[in-house]
Amino acid sequence: MIEPGKTYKLEIIKIEGDKLYCDAQNLGIVEVVNNDLVLKFSIADQTTVFLYYDNENKLCGFHGRPYAEAGEFARLKVVANTNIGSFLDWGMDKDLFCPFAEQKQTPEFGKYYIVYIYIDPLTMRTVASMKYEKFLSSEPTNLEEGQSVEALILNKSQLGYNAVVNNQFQGLFYDNEVFTNLKPGTKLNAIVHKVRDDNKLDLRLFKNDASDISEFESKIISYMQENNGHMNINDDSAPELIYKTFGISKKNFKKALGSLYKKEIIDLSKNTITFIKK
């Protein structure tokens, strides 16, 4: 079933000037302005359309897609504060409305905030909430330890980095397992390390298993190939330098070095690591 607040590939059934009329199935026919006149369309073509209801409760279509849609969390910029609420830039001609009731405090113009986008059941309009915590599920998760997930960073806490997992659950990257500054709004792939009793998730950037070590080895080999078979970074190097260079922790870097050494691919006898000539 097609829903408002989301993006779909829709069939064009009529064209009048710069207006496309698309079949939105259960929602009826939607008028879409072709705001990219470089693109030429014909009847029966498929085009990407974001569906939403305007102030007059009319179904409208935007040719393209916003930065995020209903049911998703995103970090968006405040572009206006008015006497009815705030408006956020979400990549569309009309900005996204955030009512006063969904604000934690008065947002500052030009600053970015994490919000949850949803359909207001009373108006059917697509709106944003800065009180995103209430949209995180506390129900038992169907995720398993070791499973790959998508994470969006919410904020920094005393323990580490809080994140939204798969646009539904709350997760945490522990500070001692992250060697870079993860900014709010950063999206990244993660691994479920543990499902806690409160149904929150402990996350890691890597599985720390044999498949990851093989990937880390490849990163090191590629780096050395780009530097004439030599590398001054070793197991005494700072964790920050290792993460900046390879995107992995010092612990995993040392595992990969040890594996390459056992395979007689590198020489660790000096501070400068080199390929072994076979």
pTM of the model: 0.79
CATH superfamily placement of domain 148-204: Nucleic acid-binding proteins (2.40.50.140)
- Spell out the domain ranges in the chain: 7-63, 73-134, 148-204, 210-275
- Check residue 277 and give its pLDDT: 56
CB distance 52 to 4 below 8 Å = yes
CATH superfamily placement of domain 73-134: Nucleic acid-binding proteins (2.40.50.140)
Report the alpha-carbon distance of residue 16 to residue 242 in Å, rounded: 58
- State the Cα torsion 248-250-255-257 to the nearest 10°: 90
Report the alpha-carbon distance of residue 210 to residue 206 in Å, rounded: 11
- Check residue 57 and give its pLDDT: 86
- Which amino acid, one-letter code, is at 204? R
- Check residue 208 and give its pLDDT: 59
- Check residue 117 and give its pLDDT: 98
- Check residue 103 and give its pLDDT: 97
pLDDT in tens, the chain (278 residues): 899 999 999 999 999 888 899 999 999 999 988 776 667 888 999 999 999 998 888 899 998 899 999 999 999 999 999 999 999 999 998 999 999 999 998 999 999 999 999 999 998 999 999 999 999 998 877 888 889 999 999 999 999 999 999 999 999 999 877 777 889 999 999 999 999 888 889 998 876 555 678 888 888 888 888 888 888 888 888 888 888 888 777 888 888 888 888 888 888 877 788 877 54
Task: Give CA separation, 231 vs 127, 221, 236, 253, 272, in Å.
Answer: 51, 10, 13, 13, 6
Domains 73-134 and 210-275 in one fold:
no
Q: What is the third-level CATH fold of 7-63?
A: OB fold (Dihydrolipoamide Acetyltransferase, E2P) (2.40.50)
Task: Give CA separation, 253 vs 203, 214, 217, in Å.
Answer: 19, 11, 8
Q: What is the third-level CATH fold of 210-275?
A: Arc Repressor Mutant, subunit A (1.10.10)
